[in-house]
Amino acid sequence: MKRMIAPSLLAADFMHLQRDVEMINQSEADWLHLDIMDGVFVPNISFGFSVLNQLKDVSTKPLDVHLMIVEPQKFIHEVADTGAFMMNVHYEACVHLHRTVAAIKNVGMKAAVTLNPHTSISLLEDILPELDMVLLMSVNPGFGAQSFIEHSVEKTARLKYMIEDKGLQTLIQIDGGVNFDTARRLFDAGADVLVAGSFVFGSADPARTIKELKSL
């Protein structure tokens, strides 16, 4: 199984954003993870489409856009216009989830659904065959540098079993509290992609940290 790392731009130095993006370009990172927060669905505000639209001309890594916002279905075309390959919406924010997933695919992006820590994977039973990826939050969304929620490892293993039992190829992504210890356990439990923010950008050598995470 290929082990992928998606550094989160939320933890970058926004006074030197191009420098940090170019570092990611030169690293072994697989994707660039972009957290869009509205201060309503989560208690924080991050950055918006003006930043994303500039990133598409700078980043050489595929853009993985995670919308932590209410009514994400209203912004499908705006996300597609940024050049993103993956659009990720929260189960908790979508009343008509199947319709939203179909609309994401109709504009040429891959579709992912995120579950907050308290949300059961059983709720994905009917929609799972339509998904390219499931993101499990291993911290409460809205802020970086939070402590890892331990039951996320077992939750990852249960989701992996569900995917394999259905004969699907759906990827599992984990976001929150990733470090060498938690990354090893999450990969062993069946995770495919780990989002790493402060652990990467706060390290002395971010590119090396990315490489070491991938080699676990």
Q: Is the pLDDT of residue 187 over 70?
A: yes
| Residue-level pLDDT at 44 | 87
- Could you tell me the CATH number of the domain that includes residue 22? 3.20.20.70
* Residues noted as catalytic: 35, 175
| Residue-level pLDDT at 2 | 84
Q: Is the pLDDT of residue 144 over 90?
A: no
Full DSSP string of the chain = ---EEEEBGGGS-GGGHHHHHHHHHHSS---EEEEEEBSSSSS-B---HHHHHHHTTT--SPEEEEEESSSGGGGHHHHHHTT-SEEEEEGGG-SSHHHHHHHHHHTT-EEEEEE-TTS-GGGGTTTGGG-SEEEEESS-TT-SSPPP-THHHHHHHHHHHHHHHTT---EEEEESS--HHHHHHHHHHT--EEEESHHHHTSS-HHHHHHHHHT-
Q: Is the pLDDT of residue 43 over 90?
A: no
Q: Specify the pTM.
A: 0.95
Q: How many domains does the chain have?
A: 1
* Residues spanned by the domain of 122: 4-214
